[in-house]
Amino acid sequence: MKEIILCKYGEIVLKGLNRGTFESELMKNVRRRLKPLGNFSLKSAQSTLYVEPLDDEIDMDEVFDRLKKVYGITKLSRAVGVEKNVKSIFGAAYERFGDILKVSKSFKVAAKRSDKSFYLTSPELAAQIGGMILEKLPHLKVDLFEPDVTIVCEIRAEGAYIHDIAEDGAGGIPVGTSGQGLLLLSGGIDSPVAGCMLAKRGVIISAIHFEAPPYTSERALMKVEKLAAKMSEYCGRISFYTVPFTRIQEEIKNNCPEEYFTLIMRRLMMEIAQRVAEKNGIEALITGESLGQVASQTMAAMVTTDAVCRMPVFRPCIGLDKREIIDISYKLGTYEISIEPYEDCCTVFTPRHPKTKPVLSDVEKAQAMYDFEPLIAEAVENTRVKNIKSY
């Protein structure tokens, strides 16, 4: 029997007249993720994407793993498809689950009849398949609440599908349905989480990183590129921009009051990021800020950074505490990379006593002590870009 993967939609089913656009974008994303693995047939029906391998040697474990990271899919199952009759359904169920049933104590058959023209109701089908299994394996008991094995039989318009309990997918809506955002990507824990949270809402993610050699190392840059590659398992291909930031940081240190170092640095980063975004048709900035986490992430501090912004700034982690952010980073697989001991430019020239309740006019006055415009233009001009993807 040939294996097929059933991918269930989530929010896509609520999109009304726009649903076709979301389904189309999801199928494009799935094709891109699976293309290196072989040839597939993709078909959408009854709020489900059917992913069928066309080559015999395809690694279905890898296929399933990649599909679990595609935004827009909420549940997915590895199933076998057969004709819609009890004999075929039982044969497929026994072939697929027979070995594990022989060493189990209890089981359950869960039937779902999407095709209402099928001659048995869901309870009737479950009872018949369950009875046939008990005849074959009389040592088993039926347990509807905590079975050792659950066999799911779905009756759909295209046929009958047998699988075990569906696993959770990435959820959200397909990347590419909500515009483009530029993520300020440091080497820390928060910003990769922020980027993936916006990708989950359909945003195409690009990333911008500020390097400051010799204060930051080549290994620090490699670490951030690794983070972008890990993010791309969920976000798809990421355009990765690297900004030379050394001269700007040195001039901040040499010309501005120490307590404003971080705030001025953040304002200049936002200005540079905006210009890069504007040059590349990107509509918004994204940061990993969490309210009150550090001195530069107080409400007053954010007012001073937002004052230079001409486009929306999204902060998806704003209401999360550190434990919640870490939990998401574990799930995404970015945590172990984020804690590698290579510091980014945000740790360079950190003030001993940073302002936590800055006044905008005071910050602007401190920044005006040096003309940063030529350095901003130079940094934008010398920004490098590369495409990063995991597959």
Question: What is the predicted pLDDT for the residue at 126?
Answer: 97
Contact in structure between 196 and 331 (CB atoms under 8 Å): no
Domain range list for the chain? 3-168, 180-388
Rounded distance between C-alpha atoms, residue 112 and residue 370, angstroms: 69
Nearby residues of 199 by Cβ (< 8 Å), 6 or more positions away:
71, 172, 175, 205, 231, 234, 235, 236
Question: What is the predicted pLDDT for the residue at 368?
Answer: 96
Residue 360 corresponds to which tokens in the numbers above?
């905008």
CB atoms within 10 A of CB 248: 24
- CATH homologous superfamily of 180-388: HUPs (3.40.50.620)
Residue 215 corresponds to which tokens in the numbers above?
């204060």
Nearby residues of 36 by Cβ (< 8 Å), 6 or more positions away:
391
Rounded distance between C-alpha atoms, residue 89 and residue 83, angstroms: 7
Q: At what angle do helices 360-367 and 261-279 cross, to 10 degrees?
A: 80
Give the length of the chain: 391
Please identify, in words, the CATH class of the domain defined by 3-168.
Answer: alpha beta
Please, what are the averages of pLDDT over each run of 10 residues along the chain (391 residues)? 90 91 96 95 93 93 97 96 95 96 97 93 96 96 96 94 96 97 95 98 98 89 96 97 95 93 95 98 97 86 95 97 96 95 70 83 95 97 95 80
CB atoms within 10 A of CB 120: 18
Question: What is the predicted pLDDT for the residue at 391?
Answer: 80
Contact in structure between 334 and 189 (CB atoms under 8 Å): yes
Residue that has been written with the tokens 């980027």 in this structure: 195
